[in-house]
A and B are shown apart, each in its own frame.
Chain A
Amino acid sequence: MNTPLLSIQGLTKAYPGVVANDDVSFDIAEGEVHALLGENGAGKSTLVKMIYGLVKPDSGTMTWQGNAFAPAEPRAARGSGVAMVFQHFSLFDALNVAENVALGMENPPPMRDLAKRIKDVSENYGLPLDPDRTVGDLSAGERQRVEIIRCLLQDPKLLIMDEPTSVLTPQEVEILFQTLRKLKSEGTSILYISHKLEEIRTLCDHATILRLGKNVGECVPAQTSARDMAEMMVGDTLQTPTRTAQDGGEVVLQVDDLSAASGNPFGTSLKNISFSVSAGEILGLGGVAGNGQDELLAALSGELLTAATAVTIRGDAVGNLGPNQRRGIGTLAAPEERLGHAAAPNMSLVENALLTGAIRQDLTKKGFVNWKGATEFADQIISEFDVRTPGSDRAARALSGGNLQKFVIGREVLQDPEVLIVNQPTWGVDAAAAAAIRQSLMDLAAKGAAIVVISQDLDELMEISDRFGALNEGRLSELRPTSGLTIDEIGLMMGGSHGMHVAGEETVEQEASA
């Protein structure tokens, strides 16, 4: 066998209180697409940061084409031929595409030449980009193109991609894969990080699986079932959420021609949204991030006030009522941003429980707080939703993302809502906790609540929702029963491929039919 491009031997990195990587070893061959699989917190990000020179390993060695490799900083790693597309884009909104690309390069050519090269490379790989556009105005898919082009301009030997598809529509994912296959055929190795198993099965030649910082196994994804890989990741058998089908109950939540300007200058305004949700039903709303999800949640929770009749609950017009008045009639919401929106980071779990639970759980009397009741409520959430924390007096920010998410969802579910709106309920949550959260939502629906789940995880929506719709630029597609929907249909509902085209082919605009 040839010398591998990058060989990792016994890499270890410990942070205070946690070993992020423990004696991890694997090889990446030239021209190979290598998957790095693992739950959140398994140590994938730390590992790639060591390869990219952002983090120094405590022990262990790396060799690059047979030579010792210890990049002191990203500059050195880039010099060797490592390029990285970050999970949270490392882009600058106020700068234009060319400036963003220049910032990621060692020795960028003068701006005019760079703009031309961006055009050439982007056309060549089927990722059209205008170098003069301001990045803040681009869609998520276009932003990712900027990152990829930035890497491609450096002729990388190893391209690291950290969860690249989480913000793309299925069509955009397919085009990304074509680009990656073209790169692979040109001899570039790719280290692909994801927890989306089906993607890994279609794209990757080899997979290394991490769990709690340790290398727990390797496999050839094409020959391994997604379930087996998932169980290697989790180290346990997975519980698939179950629910019994519901017959349509009476309509509880009715949204009628809802239009609202976003409160955020870079937000998306809602345009003529109409739908209804019956008792016992879960409506799943998909769509690429930034297409009005936050605004819709705000309009339904009462943060964003609209015409009174735009939102009705059991026939009462509530569009002009604020969040607390809606809580009073049983409409609860859990927004996407856990720290800062769903929970106040520096306040204790008891205080956070009180903040949304005060009304329905009757935790205040004549303006005075019933601390005993609030503590009991917080403790109840912690025990029923398996929130791992030393106590309810801990600050919300001290919890890990997954645990806080369980707390935030549990807090709303345990208040027994008639209408519940959640945005990204399992974002950044490990598979076991995600399954528990989904199960709790389904149980709540079985008890007769009307639930709206907004999510970017299509598998999640297919699993738990009865009907599916997609948000695209503030508009809602038609709603369709989940059973029988194909991934292509969903992609078109989400707005197609936003003008991307397959590498090496003529530009064919895939029209959004939704």
Chain B
Amino acid sequence: MDLSAISPTLLIASLMVAATPLLLAAIGELVVEKAGVLNLGVEGMMIVGAVCGFAVSVETGSPYLGILAAMAGGAILSMLFAFLTQFALANQVASGLALTLFGLGLSALMGQSYVGVKPPVMGKVDIPVLSDLPFVGHILFGHDIVLYMGLGLTAAVWAVLKYTRAGLVLRAVGENHEAAHALGYHVVRVRILAILFGGACAGLGGAYISLIRVPQWTEGMTAGIGWIALALVVFASWKPWRVLLGAYLFGGINVLQLNLQAAGIAIPVEYLAMSPYLITIIVLVILSADKSAAPASLGRPFHASN
């Protein structure tokens, strides 16, 4: 066992990379749930985003077009969910599960000819001076653009929900859709927009795995990150900064345990493998002990019939 082989700079830098797909998917789902919709199709939207982003990057040679395509792919798939739940008034849980299964199948089909292909590499953001700082420079600067988008998105979602009228209306719709409707707000419109946003975020998260983190395409490569994102939103009590904390914690412990495995620590691999889940849940449960505040209309269908 050689713990000195674990470099803290590398560890922190790679935990940020490991956490980003989870953060993106969870922050999107947070907005969806704040609007009162429970979309269990995050995993499906992620994997479709992953394959769309991968395919478009390979075909066009531009990872940035791929990123856009991934967001579009996730959003388009989420439109199916929006149609089922907001117009056909289908059960949200069943529709979400169907979306995940459909997305996994569809992505496998779409990605058949891309197995084993290498995608174009996305350049790192290189900020002169800052990136060259010792330690901090390597950790905080010199990542790819999507990673910063994830952080920016978290801040933006927090600020919009807390300070803007749009955020207030979104929360109102999720809290009491009948009252929001009575006051003249368009419940279904707000929810569809939230679902599309969630789909785009999940797609982006998926593409981050296939284009940057791994980078290659294999079937089912999101490997349950979408489900963890769903759980993370709940354990984070629907608060954006706690989602960030949870995602980084999860990513961090995941990276750490992989490093520990590589260093040959005398703990069975199974325990190490389960540790990210356990520790993230424990920390967030302790944090959420104050007051769990699920949006009151979460998962309830709305129809303006009276």
Residues in A lying within 8 Å of B, measured CB to CB:
53-54, 73-75, 78, 86, 88-95, 99, 102-104, 108
Tell me if A92 and B176 are in contact (CB < 8 A).
Answer: yes
Report if A103-B182 is in contact (Cβ < 8 Å); known contacts: A93-B176, A93-B296, A94-B293.
no
Q: How close is A47's CB to chain B, nearest CB, in angstroms?
A: 14
Flag whether B101 is at the interface (Cβ < 8 A): no
Query: Please, could you name 25 A-B residue pairs with CB atoms under 8 Å apart, sorted by A?
Result: A53-B184, A54-B182, A74-B184, A88-B178, A90-B176, A90-B178, A90-B182, A90-B183, A91-B176, A91-B179, A92-B172, A92-B175, A92-B176, A94-B171, A94-B175, A94-B293, A94-B296, A95-B172, A95-B175, A99-B168, A99-B172, A103-B168, A103-B169, A103-B180, A108-B165
Q: By the criterion CB–CB under 8 Å, are B179 and A90 in contact?
A: yes
Q: Chain A contact residues: over half helix, strand or loop, or mixed?
A: loop
Measured CB to CB, the closest approach of chain B to A83, in angstroms, equals: 11
A92 to B293, CA, bound (A): 13
B179 touches A102 (CB 8 A): no
* 6 more A-B residue pairs beyond the given contacts A74-B183, A93-B175, A102-B168, with a C-beta to C-beta distance below 8 A: A86-B182, A90-B182, A93-B176, A93-B296, A94-B171, A95-B175
Question: Please, which residue of chain B has its CB at the minimum distance from the CB of A73?
Answer: B184
In the assembled complex, the Cα of A102 lies from the Cα of B167 at a distance in Å of: 12
- Find chain A residues with CB under 8 A from B296 CB: 93-94
Cα–Cα distance between A53 and B183 once the two chains are bound (Å): 10
What 4 pairs between A and B have smallest CB-CB spacing? A74-B184, A90-B179, A92-B175, A90-B182
Instruction: Give the size category of B's interface with A.
Output: 10 to 19
Confirm or deny: B295 has a beta carbon within 8 angstroms of a beta carbon on chain A.
yes
Shortest beta-carbon distance, B178 to chain A, in Å? 8
What B residues does A74 contact at CB under 8 A?
Answer: 182-184
A149 CB to closest chain B CB (Å) equals 15
| Shortest Cβ gap from B294 to chain A (Å) | 9
Whole-angstrom distance between the alpha carbons of A86 and B165 in the complex? 22
- In the assembled complex, the Cα of A90 lies from the Cα of B165 at a distance in Å of 18
Assembly CA distance A475 to B152 (angstroms): 52
Q: Which residues of B contact A93 (CB under 8 A)?
A: 175-176, 296
Which listed residue (B178, B183, B293, B295) contacts A103, Cβ 8 A? B183
Query: Which residues of chain A are near B182, meaning CB under 8 Å?
Result: 54, 74, 86, 90
Q: How far is the CB of A49 from chain B (nearest CB, A)?
A: 9
* Chain B proximity of A28: nearest CB distance (Å): 21
Complex Cα distance, B185 from A104, in Å, reads 10
B36 to chain A, nearest CB (A): 11
Q: How far is the CB of A65 from chain B (nearest CB, A)?
A: 22
A108 to B166, CA, bound (A): 12
CA–CA, A75 to B181, complex, Å?
11
Considering only CB atoms, which chain B residue lies closest to A103 in the complex? B172
Docked Cα-Cα span, A13 to B178, in Å, equals 21
Q: Enumerate chain A residues within 8 angstroms of B184, measured Cβ to Cβ.
A: 53-54, 73-75, 78
Q: In the complex, which residues 153-179 of chain B have their Cβ closer than 8 Å to any Cβ of chain A?
A: 165, 168-169, 171-172, 175-176, 178-179
Residue of B nearest to A89 (CB): B179
Would you give the shortest CB distance from B89 to chain A, in whole angstroms?
Answer: 16
A104 contacts across to B, CB distance below 8 A: 183
Of B168, B183, B295, B296, the most chain A CB neighbours within 10 A belong to B183
Residues of B contacting A94 in the complex (Cβ-Cβ under 8 angstroms): 171, 175, 293, 295-296
B271-306 interface bits toward A, Cβ cutoff 8 Å, 1 = contact, 0 = none:
000000000000000000000010110000000000
Residue of A nearest to B176 (CB): A92
How far in angstroms is the closest Cβ of chain B from A329?
Answer: 39
Interface centre among B178, B179, B293 (most CB of A within 10 A): B179
**Which residues of A sit under 8 angstroms from B293, Cβ to Cβ?**
94
Query: Which residues B169-223 have CB closer than 8 A to chain A?
Result: 169, 171-172, 175-176, 178-180, 182-185
Chain B 61-73 per-residue mask, 1 if CB under 8 angstroms from chain A, else 0: 0000000000000
Residues of B within 8 Å of A75, CB to CB, are 184
Q: How far is the CA of A78 from the CA of B293 in the complex (A)?
A: 31
Most buried by B among A91, A95, A103: A103
Which residue of chain A lies nearest to B179 when distances are taken between CB atoms in the complex?
A90
Cα-based distance from A249 to B243 in the complex (angstroms)? 64
- CB neighbours of A53 from chain B (8 A): 184
Chain A residues positioned under 8 Å from B179 (CB to CB):
86, 89-92
Residue interface mask B89-133, A partner, CB < 8 A = 1:
000000000000000000000000000000000000000000000
Chain A, residue nearest B175 (CB): A92
Q: How far is the CB of A21 from chain B (nearest CB, A)?
A: 14
Residue of chain B at shortest CB distance from A111 = B163
User: Shortest beta-carbon distance, B177 to chain A, in Å?
Assistant: 10
Chain A residues in 8 Å Cβ range of B178:
88, 90
Interface set, chain B 198-255, CB cutoff 8 A to A: none
Q: Which residues of A contact B176 (CB under 8 A)?
A: 90-93
Q: How far is the CB of B301 from chain A (nearest CB, A)?
A: 15
C-alpha spacing A86/B183, complex, angstroms:
10
How far apart are the CA atoms of A53 and B169 in the complex, in Å? 19
Question: Which among B175, B178, B293, B295 has the highest number of chain A CB atoms within 10 Å?
Answer: B175
Q: Which residue of A lies closest to B238 (CB)?
A: A94
B306–chain A nearest beta-carbon distance, Å: 9
Query: How far is the CB of B231 from the nearest CB of chain A, in Å?
Result: 21
- Least CB separation from B293: chain A residue: A94
Interchain CA distance A99-B179 in the complex, whole Å: 13
Cβ–Cβ < 8 Å partners of A73 in chain B? 184
A89 and B179 CA atoms in complex are apart in Å by 7
**In the bound complex, do residue B183 and residue A95 qualify as a contact, i.e. CB atoms below 8 Å apart?**
no
Alpha-carbon separation in the docked complex, A373 to B54 (Å): 67
| Chain B residue contacts of A91, Cβ below 8 A | 176, 179
CA distance A75 to B169 in the complex (A): 14
* Cα separation A376 to B63 with both chains bound (whole Å): 72
Complex contacts, A92 vs chain B, CB 8 Å: 171-172, 175-176, 179-180
Complex Cα distance, B185 from A90, in Å, reads: 12
Contacts of A108 in B (CB 8 A): 165
Interface string of B28-45 (1 = CB under 8 A from A): 000000000000000000
With a CB–CB cut-off of 8 A, which chain B residues contact A54? Answer: 182, 184
Q: How far is the CB of B61 from chain A (nearest CB, A)?
A: 48
Docked CA distance A73–B184 (Å): 6
Cβ distance A114 to chain B, nearest Cβ, rounded Å? 12
**Closest CB in chain A relative to B149 CB, distance in Å:** 29
A102 touches B295 (CB 8 A): no
List A contacts of B169 (CB < 8 A).
103
* Chain A residues with CB below 8 A from B175, complex form: 92-95
Chain B's closest residue to A136 (CB) is: B296
Determine how close the nearest CB of chain A comes to the CB of B284; give it in whole angstroms.
Answer: 20
Residue of A nearest to B294 (CB): A94
Cα of A86 to Cα of B306 in the assembled complex, Å: 14
